[in-house]
A and B are shown apart, each in its own frame.
Chain A
Amino acid sequence: MYLRFDRIVPYIPFILQGIPIIIAMSLGTAIVGCIIGFIAALAKRRGGIVGACFSGYIDFFRGTPAYVQLSFFHFALPQLIHTNWPGWVSCVIVFSLNSGAYLAEVMRAGIDGIDKGQIEAAKALGVQNKDITKDIIIPQALRNVLPAMFNEFIALTKETSIVSVVGIMDLMRRSSIVQGSLYLFFEPLTIVLIAYYILNKILSFIGSYLERKLKYD
């Protein structure tokens, strides 16, 4: 066994500088993904041509790997249309669309899970549709889907480990550089594992906290 953690100590700050990049990427795409997912969920429930388009989008993004989507978007698409985006733009677009597709299905299930009787009761009281959505459907749907949503956020955070394919200096990319220069693999990769684990642990704590906060029974 040959372990030399002492040799990588000087490189630890360099590796950990990838963390803000992951956080920014995950947070940004989670927010945009939620918005896309919510619109897609409502559109899909409503049906029609628009609904069918959103269904197609959800189907496509759930049916192909994020790694391939990102590579395709960044490297293959410029052959068809002239684009010259920096890597992070491609990442944000692809990950937002990807998580949006998953979140759309999660949210749709949450909305469908609400008892139709409550919506009828609100209508019978003369409550406007927009208020029914805002005050009756969303609060209950949110509570129902919170665990599944945080599952998706955690998956998204882990998925961002592929952004190095378009040259983003994330944790994985930085650890590869260290691996290459020191010919040590166990040590830098251990640091990456721990960093991801802690990040997601924090995320799941936030999830359980919100779940408790929204609980009413």
Chain B
Amino acid sequence: MIKVEHLYKDYSKEIKVLKDVNFTFEDGKTYAIIGSSGGGKSTFIRCLNMLEVPTSGTIALDDVVVNDAKTDLTKVREKMGMVFQNFNLFEHMNAKKNVAYALMKVKKMSESDAYAKAVQMLEKVGLGHRVDSYPHQLSGGEKQRVAIARALAMELEVLLCDEPTSALDPEMTTEVLKVLKSLSHTGLTMIVVTHEMAFAREVADYILYMDAGQIAECSSPDEFFTNAKTERARQFVANML
């Protein structure tokens, strides 16, 4: 469970991105965060694992306050993986090593165990034939699947996805979304910032609509797409469909 209370994030006095965000993510559910650009979606998801340091408020994973100076962030990040818009693979490591690296450094696994696990994870995302390829030899969709394997290998409780398909063409988007769909409802909590409405509608348990630095509403996909609670959300849906 991730409990967010009174979360604020200011980049400066003028630029306030998050304004009092309150939300509780339940275990094992899939959440799609949608909304117009500049609404604070990415900032919000990046605060959850402290890639952005909140200005105030608290974020708690189970009972551990993530944004407490005394908290060992490594422990938190071990449980909470992230997939990025631009994949962010380690360019000087092949696919296998990209996945194995954190297993060795963070999980302290032996080299042979880490590589065995890496290959297994890559097979799971359909890249068993690409384990020795370097990132520059992979297509966008393949890179993103390596990135997903890299995150999942850590035995996560929570997977954060920050616009995982925004840098991909429609065909590659489909292959990545297929992988993400297969992960939902497997016990993993998934929080996905996305512009893929069909994916949100089909896979998510809840849609979080963010607007002007706040979660304007949280509804089931059916409710959100047919009968959103707020006027802004209704407009957003109308523009999207």
Q: How many whole Å from B3's CB to the nearest CB in chain A?
A: 20
> B78 interface residue, CB < 8 Å from A?
yes
For chain A, what secondary structure do more than half of its interface residues adopt (helix, strand, loop), or is it mixed? helix
Residues of B within 8 A of A124 (CB): 49, 51, 77, 80-82, 151, 160
0/1 interface trace, chain A 188-217, chain B, CB 8 Å (1 if under) = 000000000000000000000000000011
CA A123 to CA B87, docked complex, whole Å: 14
Contact, CB under 8 Å: A126 / B88? no
Query: B99-107, B179-187, B209-217: which lies at the A interface?
Result: B99-107
> B74 interface residue, CB < 8 Å from A?
yes
CA A134 to CA B151, docked complex, whole Å: 21
Q: Which residue of A lies closest to B73 (CB)?
A: A126
0/1 interface trace, chain B 145-160, chain A, CB 8 Å (1 if under) = 0010011001000001
Q: Which of B51, B77, B84, B87 contacts A126 (CB under 8 A)?
A: B77
0/1 interface trace, chain B 127-147, chain A, CB 8 Å (1 if under) = 000000010110000000001
Contact, CB under 8 Å: B51 / A125? no
Q: Which of B75, B86, B134, B151 contacts A216 (CB under 8 A)?
A: B134
> B92 interface residue, CB < 8 Å from A?
yes
> B90 interface residue, CB < 8 Å from A?
yes
CA A122 to CA B90, docked complex, whole Å: 9
CA A79 to CA B84, docked complex, whole Å: 61
Given contacts A123-B51, A128-B74, contact A140 B102 (CB under 8 A): no
In which size bucket is the chain A interface?
20 to 34
Q: Among A118, A120, A124, A135, which residue has the most Cβ atoms of chain B within 10 A? A: A124
> A127 interface residue, CB < 8 Å from B?
yes
Given contacts A121-B84, A124-B51, A126-B74, contact A217 B134 (CB under 8 A): yes
0/1 interface trace, chain A 114-145, chain B, CB 8 Å (1 if under) = 01011011111111100100011001100100
CA A217 to CA B94, docked complex, whole Å: 10
> B91 interface residue, CB < 8 Å from A?
yes
Residues of B within 8 A of A118 (CB): 88-91
Q: Which residues 23-55 of A have a CB within 8 angstroms of B?
A: none
Contact, CB under 8 Å: B105 / A127? yes
Contact, CB under 8 Å: B84 / A125? no
Contact, CB under 8 Å: A125 / B102? yes
Residues of B within 8 A of A127 (CB): 101-102, 105-106
* Supplied contacts A117-B87, A217-B134, 10 more A-B pairs, CB within 8 Å: A117-B84, A121-B82, A121-B147, A123-B51, A125-B77, A125-B81, A125-B106, A126-B76, A126-B77, A140-B91
